[in-house]
């Protein structure tokens, strides 16, 4: 593998559609309220992509330092683990994406200045800094929260609530309480992807001291947890549509539910953690298509 391909591999492109789900949904719901800016949408997409890649690179570095990346790990080989990219090179690339995230995020806030106040802009900027820190500290630092079982909570907050509510707010300049429902749906589906990842890696994580929520509660409880969070994700979406009913087209996202239900069944009946690896991509894409169809449904 060439170094260029190794870097592309390190960016983990298959995770990017999941990170965009909240931005797409929040932006399309804002468009249904006749509040949409193409500049804000593009900059929000760019900022989110930079943050996701930053998180992926930090995860590669952190798991390499801790020893979680080893020959026993299930899933694609990591960049540092392969030996093609050094830890120093990875650290330098982290700085690059921190700067890209800051620059893109700053332009995003500047463009939103037409509909938000200076105080609100400062709050959004602070949240952006927290997002950068969260991306890095998942597996890096003295007490990485991903190694203490808090990864699920942070994914729910940043992939769901912050991404959806934040993008909606930047377009509109205001928030409505019921947007919490689809925001929670995206957050729970994203958390389901992380739970799948941790179910797949439960044996290696437990041996290397990576105390994910799955390691803490055990495989059986984690499977029931998976059922609950994905069921709630579907329930919250339906509740929002009922509260804001205007057309039957709002329910086109129901077409994605068979994929989600299939995922639940596979997880509940799984015997070999290795078999869960392909389900990560399928659930991530299910979340992406859910956000797209949900958002488009509000426009029809």
- Number of domains, the chain: 1
Confidence tier at 3 by pLDDT (50, 70, 90): confident
Percentage of the chain modeled with pLDDT above 90:
82
Asked if residue 254 is part of any domain, the answer here is: yes
Asked if residue 8 is part of any domain, the answer here is: no
Asked if residue 7 is part of any domain, the answer here is: no
pTM of the predicted model as reported, rounded to 2 decimal places: 0.94
Read off the pLDDT of residues 163-206 as tens digits, 9 standing for 90 and up. Answer: 999 999 999 999 999 999 999 999 999 999 999 999 999 998 89
Q: Is the pLDDT of residue 76 over 70?
A: no
Asked if residue 6 is part of any domain, the answer here is: no
Separation of alpha carbons 192 and 280, rounded Å: 9
Q: Is the pLDDT of residue 50 over 90?
A: yes
Q: Are 11 and 56 in contact (CB under 8 A)?
A: yes
- For residue 73, the enclosing domain spans 18-299
Q: Are 39 and 111 in contact (CB under 8 A)?
A: yes
Q: By mean pLDDT, which of 35-49, 69-83, 116-130 is the weakest?
A: 69-83
Question: Distance of CA 286 to CAs 21, 181, 192, 292, Å?
Answer: 10, 18, 11, 10
Tokens of residue 103, six digits: 């620059």
Read off the pLDDT of residues 225-249 as tens digits, 9 standing for 90 and up. Answer: 999 999 999 999 999 999 999 999 9
Q: Is the pLDDT of residue 75 over 70?
A: no
Asked if residue 239 is part of any domain, the answer here is: yes
Confidence tier at 64 by pLDDT (50, 70, 90): confident
Asked if residue 109 is part of any domain, the answer here is: yes
Asked if residue 60 is part of any domain, the answer here is: yes
Q: Is the pLDDT of residue 80 over 90?
A: no
Read off the pLDDT of residues 139-154 as tens digits, 9 standing for 90 and up. Answer: 888 889 989 999 999 9
* More confident call, 2 vs 222: 222
Asked if residue 12 is part of any domain, the answer here is: no
Residue 141, Ramachandran bin (φ over 0: left; ψ between -120 and 50: alpha; else beta): left
């Amino acid at each position: 593998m060439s170094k260029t391909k190794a870097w592309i591999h390190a960016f983990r492109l298959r995770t990017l559609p999941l990170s965009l789900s909240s931005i797409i949904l929040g932006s399309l719901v804002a468009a249904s309220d006749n509040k949409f800016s193409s500049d804000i949408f593009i900059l929000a997409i760019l900022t989110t992509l930079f943050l996701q890649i930053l998180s992926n690179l930090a995860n590669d570095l952190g798991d390499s330092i801790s020893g979680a990346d080893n020959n026993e790990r299930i899933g694609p080989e990591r960049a540092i683990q392969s030996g093609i990219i050094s830890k120093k090179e990875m650290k330098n690339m982290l700085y690059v994406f921190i700067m890209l995230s800051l620059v893109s995020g700053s332009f995003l806030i500047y463009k939103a200045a037409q509909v938000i106040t200076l105080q609100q802009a400062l709050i959004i900027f602070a949240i952006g800094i927290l997002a950068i820190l969260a991306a890095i500290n998942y597996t890096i630092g003295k007490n990485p929260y991903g190694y203490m079982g808090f990864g699920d909570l942070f994914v729910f907050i940043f992939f769901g609530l912050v991404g959806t509510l934040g993008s909606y707010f930047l377009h509109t300049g205001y928030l409505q309480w019921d947007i919490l429902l689809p925001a929670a749906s995206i957050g729970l589906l994203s958390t389901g992807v992380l739970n799948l990842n941790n179910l797949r890696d439960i044996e290696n994580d437990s041996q290397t001291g990576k105390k994910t929520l799955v390691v803490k509660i055990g495989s059986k409880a984690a499977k029931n947890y998976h059922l609950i969070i994905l069921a709630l994700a579907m329930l919250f979406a339906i509740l929002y549509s009922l509260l804001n009913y205007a057309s039957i087209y709002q329910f086109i996202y129901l077409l994605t539910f068979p994929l989600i239900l299939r995922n639940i069944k596979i997880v509940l009946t799984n015997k070999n953690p290795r078999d869960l690896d392909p389900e990560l991509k399928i659930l991530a894409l299910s979340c992406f298509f859910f956000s797209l169809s949900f958002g488009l449904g509000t426009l029809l």
